Structure 1
């Protein structure tokens, strides 16, 4: 006498729910699937579904992050990557040049200019905003025939997007050792590798004596002009020029 097993009847709602696994396709010992009549062999040409490898997903995410960072870094101000026609990946540029003033003064001026996204908001100041205008920051050093060197903070602006060549540029010397609220302004433009600047408002001769000392008081009696051309060079080159000037 046989006993009816509902798990073995395909018409039964309990078919496949028992220990045999039935048509549910439980894995067999050979790695294939098991049906109601035994293990299903792996047929030639049959493809197995595989989980995607995680490393490819991570690689795609990494590539996407690199692309986003590159776009964020380059697109807003590509000029900062080749300031003065040089490759400047740090978005900074250093140069110096002789300054000649209408009061007879002769000086050497060193500029460490910083712009672009990496230096945005440096010193907490923004000199301009909007399309086609980017802020400059950094520091400056000045020496005269008296042989003393002063250091200033810089704020300024570059009116460009793609290249500094031909770009209108302003550089303001601020902070100590100048008095509170005193700004020595220099305006001009880039011409290839050279930054040509002039004093537009008498502030240079009002702030500096012909020997390069800082005046204790600002007076319109010292009105005058000043011009300079800054070219790429190191701080050591600037110091050598200062020694020659003071000799």
Structure 2
């Protein structure tokens, strides 16, 4: 999504000042000083707030997709042929065609595989239509048991991705909260004049302690998140490998 990319880009730009702060460069006036750091942090907070919404949305979508895939796999495994082939949705057909050549998919154009030759595009579309018709006819007669098992594995991976999004949400929420404390302390330096709700947000800590703790929490969360990002493909692969081992044993 372009909108998501814009917000990620804004956070990336703000890291110029966040990184400079780690080397105490913002203590000088070279790149705007502490004021520029706070402005950059504010931009990052606004962008992060948008991304928190999309994390919730992506997590819910992944969990829904996982449940739908499990239900679809259960329907496939009930009988030799899929009786509800006429009611097959585009998404369900995509699950069945995910491991196949894109040329046989009715959605091959979504990959940008569009030529300037109208005749060539027409042939590709005809080929895709024939492939879809053949696959649906085959599906109505018989269903390979491995198809349902493969869908269940994909559903487990999808569920893991949904849970991972919730982990991202928790990590980034605490990062948002921590860095927000730093911004509040900067703009409301007089502790005695701070409203009661702000004192609650700052956990009734002195400004110096709230600033240090907020920065530490934010840095810690944004250190853990890359570890989760880098480690998640290994977990997804382990889910697939475990499923394959069970198939071999069976």
TM-score greater than 0.5 by the shorter chain: no
Say which structure is richer in strand.
1
Look at both structures and tell me which one has the larger radius of gyration over its CA atoms: 1
Kindly indicate whether structure 1 or structure 2 has the higher relative contact order, using CA contacts under 8 Å at least 6 residues apart.
Answer: 2
> Which of the two has greater helix per residue?
2
TM-score using structure 1 length: 0.26
